[in-house]
Structure 1
């Protein structure tokens, strides 16, 4: 498996968006509009994880401030779940944060995947809620980074 950083607007970017929509939105009869992804035009770190040339995982970060960076999207194709794809993407995103001197990674996770993030030392903040864009409960989480 290989991780690649992806440039906004490329063929690989469109592949990344399609994977995210297929995994995160289509099962809920929702879509992901361009406005929702507008921040990605500003140099957001976008990664794809490839297995035998096929993108099987995607991750996107958004800039918060000088000390925090947010994981905005994280998606793993159904056939590759449980095979280390999610951890490989998270390792890369957290390493990106460390290399760029961020002290904390924040995210909003679906409550169904809390165990995945908790195993990676993320802690929950506040109560679960249903955001307006998908009918699934979410909760804010964060992780303090060590050098």
Structure 2
């Protein structure tokens, strides 16, 4: 297993889009728009690849300011869930963000994932809100 940054517009990055679509969008009967994906040009795309070079987990880091980054679209292949890969990927993202000069990481997390982030020392900020039609919470963590 290797976790690395993949370059926007490459085949590897397109594989992360396919995984995000499969895990996060299809269950909600949603699709990415071309514009939405094009707006990720200035984000960092991180992927976990298995020994067959298949993307099995991924996420996006979108700079919010010079010191703050937003973690988005965390997805783990269904067959790999519950094995610690999500935690490994999020930990990698935190080190990656800190290495790039960010001091704070934030995310809008689904209600079903809130406990996962709280166990990783993220702090809930504010009340529940709706995003893409489902309950979310904002979480933050100092890097």
Structures share a fold, TM > 0.5? yes
- Tell me the number of residue pairs that the alignment of Structure 1 and Structure 2 aligns: 142
Q: Which residue of 1 aligns with 2:48?
A: 49
1:14 aligned onto 2:4? no
Q: How does 1:12-91 map to 2 (within 5 A)?
A: 12-42=12-42, 44-53=43-52, 54-91=54-91
1:52, distance to aligned residue in structure 2 (A)? 2.2
CA deviation vs aligned residue, 1:65-94 (integer Å, no higher than 9, x gap) = 111111022100111001111011111110
Distance 2:3 2:95 in 1: 12
Taking only aligned residues, the RMSD between alpha carbons, in angstroms, comes to 1.1
Question: For 2:41, what is the secondary structure of its paired residue?
Answer: helix
TM superposition outliers: structure 1 runs of 4+ over 4 Å: none
Long gaps (5+) in structure 1 = none
Q: Residue 129 of structure 1: CA displacement?
A: 1.3
Residue 142 of structure 1: aligned partner: 140
CA distance in 1, matches of 2:47, 2:19: 10
Q: So what's the TM-score if we normalise by structure 2?
A: 0.94
Deviations 1:10-50 (A, max 9, x none): 111111100001000101111111222333212x2101101
Aligned 8 A contact 1:16 1:58 in 2: yes
Output the TM-score relative to the length of structure 1.
0.91
Encode CA deviations 1:84-133: one digit per residue, 9 max, x unaligned: 110111111100111122111011000101111001111111111112xx
Gaps of 5+ in 2: none
Distance 2:93 2:39 in 1: 17
